[in-house]
């Protein structure tokens, strides 16, 4: 049987996943598992969440399994993409799954991340690399799905680390690997109440790295890897802060006060409004 490292190399060599994404998926799963292993009380609360540590870890194990199934071509219904439907699907799935032990869940999280990589490789070998699985946030290619898996693990891995008072695993490299998913998902999670009639051009740049362009035209949004011409507002943001803000784990005003977000342009006052234009699922 091919090793996990071999699976990751195979996925990368065939161009199914962006460079470094396979390593990031595997490494993040392993670091989350390391946080969990040996924890005896999984009933401790997760800050900012209604879940306990055990429930959050169980959700992560289930979500990794879902992503692996989708990569393998298995159709799985899971809400309709709205935050309310996803929350309901999460609670329904947790109610049907009673494992809350830290060590078993750690093993599941890693095993399902590896299953995702193996399924992606098999899909490529079968000549289906252009497949677009139907995810909880709509159709995505395997590259975007892998980025989705990484983003989801980083968000909940951050939560678990906070609950345990341990360092999290988010870094600049991993944040940049979440961009394919975020670019795909952002138009699907627009807060229509906040964007009705909005006309604005944003350039969002990660400090020392990549960036994205976001343009609203009469409330309709277009997101891409290039900044729009003559942006109304340019936002320069520390990468970890960017991801935490995108996932609803960090408030914009506090980040700006700590110097982690800078803004300029013709309409710099649009910067604090930017996170409110989307609803984190």
Residue 184, domain member (yes or no): no
Is residue 136 within 8 Å of 281, Cβ to Cβ? yes
Q: Are residues 72 and 108 in the same domain?
A: yes
* Confidence bin at 13 (pLDDT 50/70/90): very low
SS (HEC) of the chain: CCCHHHHHHHHHHCCCCCCCHHHHHHHHHHHHHHHHCCCCCCCCECCCCCCEHHHHHHHHHHHHHHHHHHHCCCCCCCCCCCHHHHHHHHHHHHHCCCCCCHHHHHHHHHHHHHHHHHHHHHHHHCCCCCCCCEECCEECCHHHHHHHHHHHHHHHHHHHHHHHCCCCCCCHHHHHHCHHHHHHHHHHHECHHHHCCCCEEEEEEECCCCEEEEEEECCEEEEECCCCCCCCEEEEECHHHHHHHHCCCCCHHHHHHCCCEEEECCCHHHCCCHHHHECCC
Task: Dig out the tokens for 192 from the structure.
Answer: 């229509």
Q: Are residues 35 and 162 in the same domain?
A: yes
Residues 17-34 pLDDT 10s: 889 999 999 999 999 999
Distance CA 162, CA 123 (A): 36
Residue 84, domain member (yes or no): yes
Confidence check: pLDDT of 236 > 80: yes
Confidence check: pLDDT of 1 > 50: no
Distance CA 121, CA 189 (A): 29
Listed residues 146, 173, 200: the one ending a domain: 173
Q: Are residues 109 and 202 in the same domain?
A: no
Q: Are residues 113 and 242 in the same domain?
A: no
Residue 250, domain member (yes or no): yes
Listed residues 144, 173, 202: the one ending a domain: 173
Backbone φ and ψ of 98, nearest 5°: -100, 5
Q: Are residues 146 and 213 in the same domain?
A: no
Distance CA 44, CA 118 (A): 33
Q: Are residues 158 and 200 in the same domain?
A: no
Beta partners for 213? 203, 224
Would you state the pLDDT for residue 15? 58
Q: Are residues 24 and 160 in the same domain?
A: yes
Residue 178, domain member (yes or no): no
Residues 149-170 pLDDT 10s: 999 999 999 999 999 999 999 9
Would you state the pLDDT for residue 77? 83
Q: What sign results for the dihedral spanned by CA atoms 24, 25, 30, 33?
A: positive
What average pLDDT does the chain have? 91
Would you state the pLDDT for residue 127? 66
Would you state the pLDDT for residue 80? 80
Q: What is the CATH number of the domain that holds 197?
A: 3.30.1050.10
Backbone φ and ψ of 97, nearest 5°: -135, 110
Would you state the pLDDT for residue 128? 58
Residue 179, domain member (yes or no): no
Residue 185, domain member (yes or no): no
Would you state the pLDDT for residue 202? 98
Domain count, the chain: 2
State the residue range of the domain holding 233.
190-277
Q: Are residues 266 and 162 in the same domain?
A: no
Is residue 277 within 8 Å of 216, Cβ to Cβ? yes
Would you state the pLDDT for residue 233? 97
Only one residue has tokens 């999290």, namely 168
**Which residue has better confidence, 151 or 251?**
151
Residue 37, domain member (yes or no): yes
**Which residue has better confidence, 133 or 146?**
146
Residues 184-232 pLDDT 10s: 999 999 999 999 999 999 999 999 889 999 999 999 999 999 999 999 9
Would you state the pLDDT for residue 209? 83
Residues 40-98 pLDDT 10s: 999 999 999 999 999 999 999 999 999 999 999 888 888 887 888 898 999 999 999 99
Q: Are residues 16 and 132 in the same domain?
A: yes
Nearest to 21 by CA among 8, 32, 6: 8
Q: Are residues 163 and 88 in the same domain?
A: yes
Residue 181, domain member (yes or no): no
Would you state the pLDDT for residue 22? 96
Q: Are residues 168 and 197 in the same domain?
A: no
Would you state the pLDDT for residue 133? 86
Listed residues 138, 173, 208: the one ending a domain: 173
Q: Are residues 97 and 209 in the same domain?
A: no
Q: What is the CATH number of the domain that holds 92?
A: 1.20.120.450
What percent of the chain clears pLDDT 90, i.e. is strictly above it? Answer: 75
């Amino acid at each position: 049987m091919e090793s996990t490292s071999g699976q990751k190399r195979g996925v990368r060599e065939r161009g199914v996943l962006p460079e470094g994404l396979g390593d990031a998926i595997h490494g993040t799963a392993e670091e989350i598992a390391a946080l969990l292993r040996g924890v005896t009380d999984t009933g401790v609360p997760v800050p900012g969440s209604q879940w306990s540590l055990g429930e959050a870890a169980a959700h992560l194990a289930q979500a990794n399994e879902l992503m692996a199934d989708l990569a393998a071509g298995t159709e799985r219904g899971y809400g309709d993409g709205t935050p309310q439907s996803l929350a309901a699907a999460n609670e329904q799935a947790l109610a049907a799954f009673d494992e809350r032990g830290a060590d078993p869940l750690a093993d599941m999280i890693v095993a399902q991340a590896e299953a995702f990589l193996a399924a992606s490789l098999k899909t490529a070998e079968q000549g289906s690399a252009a497949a677009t699985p139907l995810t909880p946030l709509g159709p995505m290619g395997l590259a975007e799905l892998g980025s989705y898996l990484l983003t989801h693990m980083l968000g909940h891995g951050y939560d678990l680390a906070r609950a345990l008072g341990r360092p999290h695993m988010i870094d600049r490299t991993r944040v940049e690997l979440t961009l394919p998913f975020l670019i795909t998902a952002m138009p699907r999670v627009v807060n229509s109440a906040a964007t009705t009639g909005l006309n604005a051009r944003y350039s969002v740049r990660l400090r020392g790295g990549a960036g994205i362009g976001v343009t609203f035209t009469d409330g309709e949004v277009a997101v891409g890897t290039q900044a729009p011409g003559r942006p109304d507002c340019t936002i320069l943001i520390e990468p970890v802060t960017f991801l935490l803000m995108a996932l609803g784990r960090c408030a914009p005003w506090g980040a700006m006060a700590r110097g982690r977000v800078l803004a300029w342009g013709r309409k710099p006052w649009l910067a604090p409004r930017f996170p409110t234009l989307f609803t984190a699922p």
